[in-house]
Amino acid sequence: MKRTVIIIIFFLATGILCAQSDSLILRLGFSGGYGYRLADPYSGVSEELNNYISEMKSLFVYGFDLSGYYKWIGAGFNYSRFNTKNNLDSIIVYDEHKNIVGTGMSDRLNCSFVGAGVYTLFYLTRSHLFAIIPCVSPGLFFYEQQSTRAGQSFNVTAKPAFGIRAGLSIDYRLSSRFGFNFEAAGFSGSIRKLELNDEDIEKETPESLHRVDFTIGIRFYP
């Protein structure tokens, strides 16, 4: 069902973007800014480790989107990505038998979202300088984690996971072809099945990918 929804919106977006019409409005944007992960603290771990994880909730996010509109309704594609990292040299690392194996840990997380969504366009002025553009996009998350524990490195990846993005953009046109925008967006999704050094594992508690983004960007109207 989830894949069916994405496929339907994908073809709808492709049809609108490929349509030949004088009334079709195209919008291409690039943006970047601040994101924050909404994951709950882990239970059963030390305060030091929870603080370490909390420090990785603040994110640098960036992305782009392409959408087309006929009158006030539109469809399009969007891509966003976040990167975050942290390291802690003083933490003691234990194995599964509670034996000390060394000290130090580091993590680098990369997560991308690719969506196809439905957009609506509302002008706030007769001159069309200001516009509000809400959108809802089902899509897929792609997750990767590079980590070290006591000097040993490993990679964690996840199979593409279904998610939803909801955004609200405020556009300001400087000319008929160029403008700026501010956007607030929320993401919802989680991952359970992971691959650790080519070995499949399944988490008892899903890894939350919920987050909010606040970005500024530039807009082109070809």
- Whole-angstrom distance, CA of residue 149 vs CA of residue 124: 53
192, 198, 200, 201: CA torsion to nearest 10: -60
- Please tell me which residue, 164 or 105, carries the higher pLDDT value: 164
Q: Which CA distances in Å does 211 have to 28, 38, 76, 188, 220?
A: 23, 5, 21, 7, 27
**pLDDT value at position 159?**
87
Query: Which residue range is the domain that position 90 belongs to?
Result: 2-220
Q: Does the pLDDT value for residue 12 go beyond 80?
A: no
CATH code for position 75: 2.40.160.20
Which residue from 71, 68, 88 is spatially nearest to 221, judged by alpha carbons? 68
**pLDDT value at position 22?**
54
E-assigned strand segments in 49-177? 58-70, 73-94, 100-120, 122-123, 130-149, 152-158, 161-173
Convert the pLDDT of each residue in 157-199 to its tens digit: 888 999 999 999 999 999 989 999 999 999 999 998 888 877 8
Which of the four pLDDT bands, split at 50, 70 and 90, describes residue 18? low
Average of per-residue pLDDT across 9-23:
54
- Please tell me which residue, 132 or 197, carries the higher pLDDT value: 132
**pLDDT value at position 192?**
86
- Please tell me which residue, 87 or 100, carries the higher pLDDT value: 87
Convert the pLDDT of each residue in 23-67 to its tens digit: 788 999 999 999 999 977 676 667 777 888 888 899 999 999 999
Share of the chain above pLDDT 70, in %: 86
Number of domains in the chain: 1
**pLDDT value at position 63?**
97
Q: Does the pLDDT value for residue 142 go beyond 70?
A: yes
Share of the chain above pLDDT 90, in %: 46
- Lowest-confidence range among 1-10, 120-129, 211-220? 1-10
Global pTM? 0.83
Convert the pLDDT of each residue in 147-159 to its tens digit: 888 778 888 888 8
- Please tell me which residue, 46 or 127, carries the higher pLDDT value: 127
**pLDDT value at position 76?**
93
